[in-house]
Amino acid sequence: MQKYKVFISKKFWIFAWILGLLILGVIAFCFKENRLVVIPGNYQTFVRSDSLEEGFSRASLSLMDSTYRLDFLLRSGAPTPYAGVGFSFLSPTQILKEEFIDFSKYDSLRVILATDRMPKVTLRLSVHDPKWTKPNEVFSARPLDLVIGADRKYAEYRVSLSDFAVPERWFDQMGIEVLDEWRYLDRGMRLEVLSATGALLGIPDALEVKELELFGVNRDFLLTIGWISIVLTIICAFGAFKKKKRG
């Protein structure tokens, strides 16, 4: 009878270990990614154009069925005519309190978009530079840009955040003589989709953005799951070994 009890107890610990690992595995699979869904979403939108730099480009934004459409006309006047749509994650008060979005939690960006004529668009992450970014000075935010292809038909693009870099033009605007590679991804403020260099001047164009999100591996969560798995293994092994010794 005693041997039978020991056998059942050992089976219990093995069963508990396997079941626990299965449950942890399912939880890890379901929550393995961090996601910041911008479209569809409720973040504050804004229109960006070179009018802020005394340019003459025009742009207007409309929303239909969770798709943002930017109609614009680029005109000469600014050093680099441009237009785009942006999404702000923070209020001015949050920025003053330095309550930023941590872009470093994400590995990649996914976007579904289409253009009327432009063959390329610029994706931009705007981050707060602790030295150079000033309140109410839009262009003092450090931009991280990536140019991707575009087409008249909707297409999905997935890009790595490691490919985003600060354009040299920003250093010139800020009067920074020594270029650096600081990215400050943990101090994120905005995400923008802009026209790229080479867009036609004087001809109406449009940009439509249907879906937009940041995503990446939830490393902290998976690390926690890993530690819980180790603790579970130790507890079950100790329980099985202890019962066996008593027998």
User: Which CATH number fits the domain that encloses residue 205?
Assistant: 2.60.120.430
Nearest to 159 by CA among 206, 121, 207: 121
Q: Burial level of 212, CB count in 10 A (0-12/13-18/19+)?
A: buried
> Is-above-0.75 flag for pTM?
yes
Alpha-carbon distances of 60 from 45, 46, 220, rounded to whole Å: 12, 10, 41
Residue 229 contacts residue 19 (beta carbons within 8 Å)? no
Give pLDDT, residue 247: 44
Residues 84 and 99 in one domain: yes
Nearest-angstrom CA–CA distance, 144 and 111: 16
Q: What sign has the CA pseudo-torsion 199, 205, 209, 210?
A: negative
Do 155 and 125 fall within a single domain? yes
Distance in angstroms (rounded) separating the CA atoms of residues 193 and 146: 10
Range of the domain at 122: 33-217
How many domains does one find in the chain?
A: 2
Query: Are 11 and 133 part of one and the same domain?
Result: no
236 and 194 assigned to the same domain = no
Residue 196 sits in the same domain as residue 176: yes
Domain match, 67 and 153 both: yes
In a shared domain, residues 53 and 74: yes
d(Cα 117, Cα 115) in Å, to the nearest integer?
6
Q: Is the peptide bond before 40 cis (omega within 30 degrees of 0)?
A: yes
Token reading at 4: 């039978």
Rounded Cα distance between 118 and 200, Å, is 8
Q: How many Å apart are CA 111 and CA 107, to the nearest integer? A: 14
Written as tens digits, the pLDDT of the chain (247 aa) is 444 454 557 777 778 878 777 877 777 666 667 889 999 888 999 999 988 888 899 999 999 888 999 999 999 888 889 999 999 999 888 888 989 999 999 999 999 999 999 999 999 999 999 999 988 888 899 999 999 999 999 999 999 999 999 999 999 988 898 889 899 999 999 999 999 987 889 999 999 999 999 998 767 766 787 787 888 778 878 777 775 444 4
In DSSP terms, 85 is beta-bridged to 47, 193
Q: Exposed (0-12), middle (13-18) or buried (19+): which is 168, by Cβ within 10 Å?
A: exposed
Residue appearing with tokens 């508990």: 16
Same domain, residue pair 56 and 7 = no
